[in-house]
Chain A
Amino acid sequence: MRTVIESQRNILDYALSGLMRRRGKTFSLILLYALVVFVLASIMFFTHAMRRESELLLSGAPELVVQRMIAGRHDPIPLEYGRGIATIRGVSRVQPRLWGYYYDSDIRANYTVQTTTDDSITRGTLAIGAGLARMRSLKKGDELSIWGYDGQPRTFQVATIFTVESDLLTTDLVLTHEADFRELFHFPMERATDLSVTVRNPREIPTVAARIAELYPDTRPITRQDILRTYAAVFDWRGGILIVMVSMALLAFVIFAWDRASGLSANEQREIGILKSIGWKTEEVLILKLWEGAIISLTAFLLGLIGGYIHVFLLSAPLFARVIKGWATLYPSFRLTPFIDYYQVAVLFVLSVFPYLLATVVPSWQAAIVDPDNAMRGSE
């Protein structure tokens, strides 16, 4: 056992020194490889972090939301529906919600406007998200004009600027008083955008949802599970397409690596011939070659992994944030919460190291079967 470990150590040492001797070739290979891993890692970290942000946000969202549909379109829901729903068994509370979007032509961005029951927001005041505050350079106490339904601007005072754990979906948020909201958008009284329903026992949510759909056939109950699923699907889909594209790049790289590994230089071939002639077995030369491959792919993997981490979490993924996020005006400097799990690292490892090993095993063997008596004949 000792001797096995020692011989492996010696062979590993020699593999390292061989790679250093062929510095130019080694580093160009590692660089290219690391680049592929870097792109792959960036995409994975990014989509994953985005999805987690939205999940985090949704964890505060209501378990069950009821919308009213007219001709298949979302329409304000009468408050009396809410009173009816409150009588269903298992429902503990029904809360009407008022929210919508507002387009700010100055900075060409959409805000999400929502009412709040928080006491700190009185009539004529607002709370805004940090991203919006930055874009419009607003401080607490400043004034913000919003154009109403009639084309007349209303002026509000900024009471709070909030930052929360996740700023992905709250960065463009504006919170108003209910009366202001109705006045601003001329929102019909006795109606709400939708209803948030609290159910005492989470296991009964599907039952309650079915009961609501039965009582009010023109409504659509949406559970938080549904939304989570949709989010997961959307982010995965966007990320998936990119990953397929990068996998193509990876494939190209693997072919390149195979080519590199199979086309040994005359010097390397001579060196292997010498090793064989002075008593290295085919297996040992093969192990030497596999060590070389392992060193290259692990180094490239680590470099790409660290690079991807820095790119996504420290630099906010400048290279492709727009591609994935889509609506990006408000997010130029927003930061994702650093978040990596072992699973992603494992997947990245499998995706980047395994193909390389698969591609180099046969060429390595071909290199290792050079005849030892080549050296005897002294092919100089």
Chain B
Amino acid sequence: MIELLNVTKIYNRGRHNEFSAVRGITLELIAGECVIIKGPSGSGKSSLLSLIGCMHRPTSGRIRLHGAEAARVVGSANPAEPVEVTSLPERYLTEIRRQLFGFIFQQFNLVRGITALENVMLPAYPLGVPRSVIRKNALELFDSLGIAHRATARIEHLSGGEQQRVAIARALITRPTALIADEPTAHLDSNLSREFLAIVEKLKLAGTTLIIASHDPLVYDSPLADKVVEVRDGLLLSPGSSR
């Protein structure tokens, strides 16, 4: 569903602290697959994920999205034609992002001071769904993730594992077709990591595309992975060793 052609990302271009985080990656991600991106710290995994997830535009190269959904978002006349993300205005990137992707961030990125429930509801607010409906969906997610009893607790009162599951629930509230997870097990012990993989398995069975960056062997050696790619210094090392 996503195609990257020789994509680069240079931060702070033209300034003294210019940094090339992604240096020409070509990659195709297929709908329904589970892809693991591994590599050492600082190799550019997070940068690659944010390009895939339409967080920002690449410095050069092209990113294309296949599928009717992306075509509908930009109002394209021909749904069979892939959508060229590269030059879309920011608000379209955002629109695509929230229609297609759910994100689990390395640091969870939950808003402090509000309840777990409201955190999960947040991504759906601008979509124009009535609040009561969002609330119902969120509570269902809390149920299925086994944290229903913590729904009305404030974020800062939750344990790491609970926060993780709140972050998962938030990523799923908009019913994304693809889930992007950045180091999802970095803050978890091995028990919780296994629990996470169980959730991933369920999602995969439901047909969700999974894109996970991780340097945790438990994740990249897991049988769930359809494809493991390795990134080093902004370049692809093993071009998709499929199993």
Interchain CA distance A230-B125 in the complex, whole Å: 58
Asked if A218 lies at the interface with its beta carbon under 8 angstroms from chain B, I say: no
Inter-subunit contact A7/B125 (CB<8 Å): yes
Inter-subunit contact B106/A378 (CB<8 Å): yes
Known: A2-B128, A3-B128, A282-B91. A21 touches B113 (CB 8 A): yes
Known: A17-B118, A21-B114. A378 touches B128 (CB 8 A): no
In B101-140, the 8 Å CB interface with A consists of 103, 105-107, 109-114, 118, 122-131, 134
Inter-subunit contact B182/A274 (CB<8 Å): no
Q: How far in angstroms is the closest Cβ of chain B from A200? A: 70
Asked if A27 lies at the interface with its beta carbon under 8 angstroms from chain B, I say: no
Interchain CA distance A5-B125 in the complex, whole Å: 11
Interchain CA distance A377-B55 in the complex, whole Å: 12
Known: A10-B125, A274-B109, A375-B109. A281 touches B131 (CB 8 A): no
Interchain CA distance A273-B103 in the complex, whole Å: 14
Asked if A278 lies at the interface with its beta carbon under 8 angstroms from chain B, I say: yes
Interchain CA distance A376-B112 in the complex, whole Å: 17
Asked if B50 lies at the interface with its beta carbon under 8 angstroms from chain A, I say: yes
Inter-subunit contact A277/B55 (CB<8 Å): yes
Asked if A226 lies at the interface with its beta carbon under 8 angstroms from chain B, I say: no
Known: A267-B112, A373-B56, A376-B46. A277 touches B128 (CB 8 A): no
| Interface range on chain A (Cβ under 8 Å from partner) | 35 or more
B50 proximity list for chain A (CB < 8 A): 373, 376
In A268-318, the 8 Å CB interface with B consists of 271, 273-284
B123 proximity list for chain A (CB < 8 A): 278-280
Interchain CA distance A280-B170 in the complex, whole Å: 13
B113 proximity list for chain A (CB < 8 A): 21, 267
Asked if B174 lies at the interface with its beta carbon under 8 angstroms from chain A, I say: yes
Interface-side segment among B92-100, B199-207, B222-230: B92-100
Asked if B90 lies at the interface with its beta carbon under 8 angstroms from chain A, I say: yes
CB 8 Å contact bits of A2-39 with B (1 = contact, 0 = none): 11111101110110010001000000000000000000
Interchain CA distance A13-B130 in the complex, whole Å: 12
Interchain CA distance A378-B122 in the complex, whole Å: 18
A284 proximity list for chain B (CB < 8 A): 126
Inter-subunit contact A378/B126 (CB<8 Å): no
Give A17's nearest chain B residue, CB to CB. B114
A277 proximity list for chain B (CB < 8 A): 55, 103, 105, 109
Known: A274-B110, A373-B55. A282 touches B122 (CB 8 A): no
Pick from A6, A282, A373: contact of B128, CB under 8 Å: A6
Inter-subunit contact B174/A279 (CB<8 Å): yes
Inter-subunit contact A7/B128 (CB<8 Å): yes
Interchain CA distance A230-B98 in the complex, whole Å: 66
Asked if B49 lies at the interface with its beta carbon under 8 angstroms from chain A, I say: yes
Inter-subunit contact B127/A11 (CB<8 Å): no
Inter-subunit contact A376/B126 (CB<8 Å): no
B95 proximity list for chain A (CB < 8 A): 281
Give B125's nearest chain A residue, CB to CB. A10
Give B180's nearest chain A residue, CB to CB. A376
Q: How far in angstroms is the closest Cβ of chain B from A11? A: 6
Q: How far in angstroms is the closest Cβ of chain A from B1? A: 18
Inter-subunit contact B105/A14 (CB<8 Å): no
Q: How far in angstroms is the closest Cβ of chain B from A332? A: 51
Q: How far in angstroms is the closest Cβ of chain B from A259? A: 23
Interchain CA distance A273-B122 in the complex, whole Å: 13
Give B129's nearest chain A residue, CB to CB. A6
B128 proximity list for chain A (CB < 8 A): 2-7, 10
Q: How far in angstroms is the closest Cβ of chain B from A253? A: 27
Inter-subunit contact B56/A10 (CB<8 Å): no
B127 proximity list for chain A (CB < 8 A): 3, 7
**In the A-B complex, the 5 residue pairs with the closest CB atoms:** A3-B128, A279-B98, A378-B107, A10-B125, A7-B128
Given contacts A6-B128, A10-B131, A281-B90, 17 further A-B contacts (CB under 8 A): A5-B128, A6-B130, A7-B126, A7-B128, A10-B124, A10-B126, A11-B126, A14-B125, A17-B118, A21-B114, A274-B110, A279-B174, A282-B91, A283-B91, A372-B56, A375-B107, A376-B106
Residue pairs across A and B with Cβ atoms less than 8 A apart, 28 shown, are A2-B128, A5-B128, A6-B128, A6-B131, A7-B126, A7-B127, A10-B124, A10-B126, A11-B125, A14-B122, A14-B125, A21-B113, A274-B110, A277-B109, A278-B98, A278-B103, A278-B122, A278-B123, A278-B170, A279-B94, A280-B123, A281-B126, A284-B126, A373-B55, A375-B105, A376-B106, A377-B46, A380-B107
